[in-house]
Amino acid sequence: MTDSKTLYVDLTAATMRQTDEAYGLIPNAAIAVEAGRIAWTGPLDDLPGEYEATSRTPLGGRLVTPGLIDCHTHIVHGGDRAGEFEMRLNGASYEEVARAGGGIVSTVTATRAADEAALIASALPRVDTLLAEGICTLEIKSGYGLDVETELRMLRAARAIERERPVRVRTSFLGAHAVPAEYAGRADAYLDEVCIPALRAAHEEGLVDAVDGFCEGIAFSPEQIARVFDVAQELGLPLKLHAEQLSNLGGAKMAASYGAMSADHIEYLDEDGVIAMANAGTVAVILPGAFYTIRETQTPPIESLRKHGVPMALSTDNNPGSSPLTSLLLTMNMACTLFRMTPEEALAGATRNAAAALGLDDCGTIAEGMRADLAVWDIKAPAELSYRIGFNPLHSRIFGGNS
């Protein structure tokens, strides 16, 4: 239903604005939506006279939050890795899995073999699972092509998701995700001959909203990532980085020195890196799905991030290897149980701070001027979103004012 002007009433709003109330909560709230934007919100008792005559949509006392934002996904990819998951649990060694064509290489092979329509078709059921949980904005990375043609195809498929479904997509170019087999031992040549030309071509085609990289011993060094970041800056593109997931290479600090929007994973981040992120306004993107799947034991430095005021976002990191997770609600539960984040931090991580991790200032809170991206829940208290495990209380999703 499209309505250019609507007044939502009979609801509690967890606005996620930073007010004196936890969750920016407003009981008995009203939200006026006009032309896809929030025109006014506040206690119904304070409704300005100009909205008195607006047609009302009562929401039965339900809880309304900002539409959720999944700010770090690899949801467009070919194939899956269920076979190797099973092999490993039946006792196969890492080498045996690799010899059977497993690991990230298998996803690269499957992604190269898939045309754009196949990439879109395989991603849509995963996307739909997220939309059913109230996601309104979705970040999608490239990084399983590792050749110019397939990196561009992944990004075109990511953009197409926005035309196939009512969701906003932000793309990140992740050419520096892994060194493909044909460049084994020649990471710098891969960057010069494939990654950087692919980035320039993708940007030329308008396919890139941000540039990401994987800074790790098994991927690229901070110096190599810096070469990609220099090109991104020349093109005027904002930055993000997979950093400190398996070891501390100082990637987050390097990303902060470039003014990156976010550093993601960061289990091995030290306080020096936290302070660098705080000073640069770099958001910490916490990814409990990958931590859980690889059975990591080093938890991200939540207490230090809190102490230094680094905003924390949460995301599924949906990918076929280290995080085959398509639930942001379960992600929130994991962040609370595994990392001792509070339910309020978890919801901020899936809304306000996720918007910041994507450089978006028009979503993530319920406030005047924001996009009317809202999630309506059959619950009383916002903590229920993090508390339940495998339960989806979404009643409805409002995207750009349309329900």
List 107, 111, 171, 316, residue binding ligand DI6 (CB under 6 A): 107
Residue 63, number of CB atoms within 10 A of its CB: 23
C-beta nearest to ligand DI6: residue: 321
Q: Write down the least CB distance from residue 40 to ligand DI6, Å.
A: 42
CB of 268 within 8 A of CB of 244?
yes
Partner from Fe ion, ligand DI6, none binding residue 214, C-beta < 5-8 Å depending on class: ligand DI6
Residue 215's nearest CA partner among 187, 182, 186, 250 is 250
CB of 196 within 8 A of CB of 202?
no
Within 141-270, residue ranges assigned H as helices are 148-164, 187-190, 196-204, 222-234, 251-257
Task: List the beta bridge partners of residue 42.
Answer: 30
Residue positions counted in the chain: 403
Q: Does 142 bind ligand DI6 (CB under 6 A)?
A: no
Q: Phi then psi for 263, rounded to 5 degrees?
A: -125, 130
Nearer to ligand DI6, 219 or 237 (CB): 219
Q: Write down the least CB distance from residue 322 to ligand DI6, Å.
A: 3
Partner from Fe ion, ligand DI6, none binding residue 17, C-beta < 5-8 Å depending on class: none
List 214, 258, 377, 399, residue binding ligand DI6 (CB under 6 A): 214
Q: Does 291 bind ligand DI6 (CB under 6 A)?
A: no
Give the angle 342-398-3 at the CA atoms, nearest 5°. Answer: 150
Q: Write down the least CB distance from residue 184 to Fe ion, Å.
A: 22
Nearer to ligand DI6, 104 or 347 (CB): 104
CB of 265 within 8 A of CB of 285?
yes
Separation CA 111–CA 149 (nearest Å): 11
Residue 63 φ/ψ region, left for φ over 0, alpha for ψ in the -120 to 50 degree band, beta for the rest: beta
List 289, 320, 343, 364, residue binding ligand DI6 (CB under 6 A): 320
Q: Does 232 bind ligand DI6 (CB under 6 A)?
A: no
Q: Does 258 bind ligand DI6 (CB under 6 A)?
A: no
Separation CA 31–CA 242 (nearest Å): 37
Count of alpha carbons within 13 angstroms of residue 215, beta-carbon side: 31
Tokens 């960061």 -> residue:
266
Partner from ligand DI6, Fe ion, none binding residue 225, C-beta < 5-8 Å depending on class: none
Q: What is the total count of residues that contact ligand DI6 (CB under 6 A)?
A: 11
Q: Does 268 bind ligand DI6 (CB under 6 A)?
A: no
Q: Does 242 bind ligand DI6 (CB under 6 A)?
A: yes
174-213 mask for ligand DI6 (x: CB under 6 A)?
---x------------------------------------
Partner from ligand DI6, Fe ion, none binding residue 111, C-beta < 5-8 Å depending on class: none
Separation CA 196–CA 173 (nearest Å): 10
Tokens of 225: 């990532």
List 69, 104, 138, 358, residue binding ligand DI6 (CB under 6 A): 104
Q: Write down the least CB distance from residue 48 to ligand DI6, Å.
A: 48
Q: Write down the least CB distance from residue 106 to ligand DI6, Å.
A: 9
Per CB under 6 A, residues contacting ligand DI6 are: 104, 107, 177, 214, 242, 245, 290, 319-322
